Amino acid sequence: MTKAIVLVTGGAGFIGSNFIYYYLSAHPDHLVMNLDALTYAGNLNNLKAIESHPHYTFIKGDITDRVLVADIFSGKKGVGCPNLVVHFAAESHVDRSIQDSSPFVLSNVLGTQVLLDAAKKAWPNDTTNRFLHVSTDEVYGSLGATGFFNEETPLSPNSPYSASKAGSDLMVRAYFETHQFPAIITRCSNNYGPYQFPEKLIPLIINNILNEKPLPVYGQGLNVRDWLYVEDHCLALDTVLQKGQLGHVYNIGGHNEWKNIDIVHLLCDLIDQKLERKESSKRLITYVEDRKGHDLRYAIDASKMQQELGWTPRHTFETGISSTIDWYLSHLEWLSDVEKRAKNEC
C-alpha cells in the first residue's frame, strides 16, 4: 500500500489504541489521525507513548458532528484528506445499552452515517480509498451448542447494542450497493488484551482479583464466547485494509471458545500463581442475576480470512491471557486512574 492518511475513529479506546500502535509500527511512513470524543471508555493515556509522534494527530470530537467530520475530510485539520478510514468509534457495552439505548443509536447508527456521507463526498469514484467498518459477531445473535457464524449468517441481534451495530453494518452495506462506496465490514469475536476498560469480563475480573473484590458471574457462567487477542485482531484489520475485497464481510475469530465461568477460574488460578497467594481467589466468585437477552454462545468461522487473505491468529489463548495479566500487573497505575475516571463519570 502506498503512503496513506488513515483516519481512525475511536482511537483512544481499547481496540483503537492498540490498532494505532500496531499501524504506526507496521507503516512508519503513513499518517494517522485519531478522532475520539473521549467518553468514559476513551483514554488518551492509552496513547501516551506516541502523543508526540510526528505521524500521529489527535482530534477531539464526536463522529455525529457533521461540521467537524466534513472539515476532516476537506483537509482543514492540517493533515490532508484521509484516504483510508478504520471505524471503531461506538458505544459498546451491552449492559449500558439495556439501561439506555439512545446513545447507542446516536453514535453507532447516526455517527456511521455521518462518516459515510463525508467520505462519499470526498472520494468521488475513487476505489483506491477504503472505509473499514469494524463490527461484532453479536449482530448474528445467539448460537446453540454447535455450529459457527459465517459471513452469510443472517443478522439477528438480541440486545440494543447489537441491534445498533447491525444497523450501522446495514448502512455501510447500503452505501456500497447504492453508491459503489469503497467499504468493507469486519465482524470480530470478543477481544482481550492491554488497555481494555475494566467493565468488560477479563479486565473486570483481573482488577477485582487484584483488589480482592467480588467476582460477578452472570447466571451460572455457562455462556460461551470465542476470544481473540487484540494484537491478532489488529493484524487482521490491517490485512483486510490492504487486501480485502470491497463490499465483502470478513469474520475475525480467535478459535478459542471458553465458558465465562472457566475464564474466571483460569484468571483466579493464574493471578494467584503469579502473586504467590495461598488463599484461592475463587472464593470471591459471586453469581448474579443473568443479563436480559444474554446470548448463550458465539463462535466464528474465520476460514474466509485464512483462505482468501492468509490470516490466522498468532496467539493461543494461553499465551495471550498470560501476557494480558502481566500487562495489567505492570500497569496498576493505569487501572487505578481508569477506575477514578469511571467513578467521576457516574
184 in Cβ contact with 244 (< 8 Å): yes
Phi, psi (degrees; rounded to nearest 5) at 335:
-60, -45
| Burial annotation 65-74 (CB, 10 A radius, 16+ → b, else e) | eeebbeebbe
Beta bridge partners of residue 130, listed in sequence order: 84
Whole-angstrom distance, CA of residue 168 vs CA of residue 113 = 8
| Sign, CA torsion 132/4/197/231 | positive
Q: And the C-alpha cell for 16?
A: 483503537
Phi, psi (degrees; rounded to nearest 5) at 127:
-85, 5
Cβ neighbors of 88 (< 8 A, separation 6 or more) are 8, 9, 10, 11, 13, 15, 16, 19, 134
Cβ neighbors of 95 (< 8 A, separation 6 or more) are 199, 291
Whole-angstrom distance, CA of residue 335 vs CA of residue 45 = 11
Catalytic amino acids?
137-138, 161
Integer distance in angstroms from the first to the last C-alpha of the chain? 44
- In order, the DSSP letters of 139-161 are GG----SS--B-TTSPP---SHH
Whole-angstrom distance, CA of residue 24 vs CA of residue 22 = 6
Q: Quick one: which H or E segment has residue 80?
A: none
What letter does residue 245 receive in the DSSP assignment? P
Q: What is the dihedral of CA 241, 242, 243, 246, to 10 degrees?
A: 50
Residue 177, amino acid: E
